[in-house]
Amino acid sequence: MDSSVRNYLVVTGGYWAFTVTDGAIRMLVVLYFHLLGYSPFEVAMLFLFYEFFGIVTNLVGGWLGARIGLNLTMHIGMGMQVIALTMLTVPDAWLSVPYVMAAQALSGIAKDLNKMSAKASVKMLAGDGGESKLFRWVAALTGSKNALKGAGFFVGAALLEWIGFRGALSVLAGMLLLVLAVTALLLPQGVGKMKSKPKFTQVFSNKPAINWLSAARFFLFGSRDVWFVVGLPVFLYSVLGWSFIEVGGFIALWVIGYGIVQASAPRLIRRSHHGLGPGGGTARRSAFVLAAFPAAMALALQYRFDPTLVIVTGLVLFGVVFAINSAVHSYLILAYSDFDKVSMNVGFYYMANAGGRLAGTVLSGLVYQTQGLEGCLWWSAGFVLAAALLSFKLPEVEPPAEPG
């Protein structure tokens, strides 16, 4: 097997394992703390530091990866996730809001270190196979990651019901520690490490395309999390009366399907002229289409359509179009980046991604508590429209400059 393919598979395997724990811990925290009597806004606030430190991590992580190597930053992220999982195994009396927020801060740093490292590594490992190859590899990595995150939602909900909150966390921490040891042995050293030590100021991109894409990414991911993070699972559990396993299973199936669509995006879009992938026009058109779905769901709930039918049908359609949007964005950040700056550009881009998740997460709890799920969906439609308008500034793709 070609060494680049082997290393790509190792990176993907490590990313998969981490992602299962990331999805599981999110579902565990939402459901368990709702069960303890926390309000939707209080549950959302538990994720405040998770998302805030994701912004900081992406800003610093790309610079750090360029200095010490992407494989090392990935393993640091895994180690921090093990610590975060272990922190939550303490007795309920210790689980104050500040303590849980601190554990979630570690988990947020870990998640974004791991994601930035894996995504940037693909650019280095894809070599000179052309932009269509890069699009396929990025779509496969991102799509499979999201499918595994969906599995993590189900694993978290199922473990909560079967062995309890602390047992679930212990199982997840042990599994990830084993994966950390295996990937540390298999991956080469120094992937993505720059020959010269970059200055921290270089993390801020001076390419307009990357700045506009990052702004669009902020609103795209805010549009999902504004109703998906807190509003949706609490609505399913409290209003529709679903069990933990039903809530976790449904959201898991949605995220798995979303991941499958994302991995299939190169075939669905069917655009690869002269070895290039999709461009700014694709991102813009798919965003305008996406905005229609949360708006239609909000209207359907307002006019008293069957809420179960509205949620299930709307989520499926939203998921398909959102997955294509996300896959195009994930490709464009690498396509717009030069080889020697890829980790810093990816870090800057995922800083905007984390900012969108932070805004969406806080709004998900606040808007759901004050305006219900309908309000969350209207906010979602507004965020998608903002992403679509910003995408007018995104250029078509040109082959990035390779280092001389």
pLDDT at 272: 46
Please, which pLDDT band fits residue 306 given cuts at 50, 70 and 90? Answer: very high
401 falls within a domain: no
Average pLDDT over residues 205-221: 89
Higher-confidence residue of 136 and 373: namely 373
What pLDDT does 130 receive? 52
Q: How far apart are CA 289 and CA 369, in angstroms?
A: 28
DSSP states of 145-200 as a string? HHHHHHHHHHHHHHHHHHHHHHHHHHHHHHHHHHHHHHHHHHSPTTTT--SS---G
**pLDDT, mean of residues 115-121:** 76
pLDDT at 403 over 50: no
> What confidence tens digit (pLDDT) does each residue in 314-365 have?
999 999 999 889 888 888 887 887 765 676 777 788 788 889 989 999 999 9
390 pLDDT more than 90: yes
Residue 400, pLDDT > 60, answer no
What contacts 370, CB < 8 A, 6 or more positions away?
none
Global pTM value: 0.74
Residues 233-262 have pLDDT tens digits of: 989 988 999 988 898 889 888 888 888 887
Give how many domains the chain has, as a whole number.
1
Least confident of 134-143, 165-174, 224-233: 134-143
CATH of the domain at 364: 1.20.1250.20
Instruction: Tell me the pLDDT tens digit for each residue of 33-53.
Output: 988 888 888 888 888 898 888
pLDDT > 90? residue 378: yes
Look at residue 296 in the predicted model and tell me its pLDDT.
97
Distance separating alpha carbons of residues 404 and 294, to the nearest angstrom? 47
Asked whether residue 399 is domain-assigned, the answer is no
Domain of residue 100: give its range: 3-393
Instruction: Report if residue 285 sits inside a domain.
Output: yes
Q: Is residue 402 in a domain? A: no
CA 32 to chain centre: 22
Mean pLDDT, rounded, for 109-120: 83
In a domain, 258, yes or no: yes
Q: Quick check: is 403 in a domain?
A: no
Whether 277 has a pLDDT exceeding 80, the answer reads no
312 falls within a domain: yes
Residue 388 lies in a domain: yes
> Which of 51-55, 91-95, 182-186, 396-400 bottoms out in mean pLDDT, i.e. has the lowest?
396-400
